[in-house]
Copies of this chain bind each other. A is one copy, B any other.
């Protein structure tokens, strides 16, 4: 069993963040008699997945939703994890595709001089249909 500092050092994630993840139900801990947290080694893989998923662009809420697909009664196997990650590959591909569109737009569309918002397909309102509601909007779409 690992202390919170152990986990923090091995994962590169701050202890405050680990407590935060726990509060959000993304990870769990047992307690020593003192009230201090004790983590099983399996938590490291779970945290790795959180970090990974974030870099791909999932929010903590989405990550939590993914985790409900894991078996609750046992430590997840390699198969369990890879079932989850299958969906993510699709997401990465979409993101790469968008970036490639943007990239070709930079050379073509600016080159052709059409970068006026109402005509250019790269920066028109239709592309922004997904943006709604308050708060910061990530370019992830």
* Segment at the B interface, from A22-30, A31-39, A67-75, A106-114: A106-114
Give 1 or 0 for each of A112-141: 1 = CB within 8 Å of chain B CB: 010111101011110010000000111100
Residues of chain B contacted by A111 (CB below 8 angstroms): 78, 82
How many copies of this chain sit in the oligomeric assembly?
2
Name the CB-closest residue of B to A93. B103
Name the CB-closest residue of B to A46. B117
- Per a CB cutoff under 8 Å, which of B52, B110, B118, B138 touches A81? B110
* Cβ-based interface call for A40 (8 A): no
If over half of A's interface residues share one DSSP class (helix, strand or loop), that class is named, otherwise mixed; here it is helix
Interface core residue of A122, A136, A138 (most chain B CB under 10 Å): A138
29 A–B contacts from the bound complex (CB under 8 Å): A12-B117, A12-B124, A44-B116, A44-B118, A45-B116, A48-B117, A48-B120, A49-B115, A51-B117, A51-B128, A55-B102, A56-B99, A56-B102, A78-B111, A78-B113, A81-B115, A82-B110, A85-B106, A85-B110, A88-B106, A89-B107, A92-B102, A92-B103, A92-B106, A93-B103, A95-B99, A96-B100, A136-B136, A138-B138
Residue numbers of A with Cβ under 8 A of B are 10-12, 44-45, 47-49, 51-52, 54-57, 78, 81-82, 85, 88-89, 92-93, 95-96, 98-100, 102-103, 105-107, 110-111, 113, 115-118, 120, 122-125, 128, 136-139
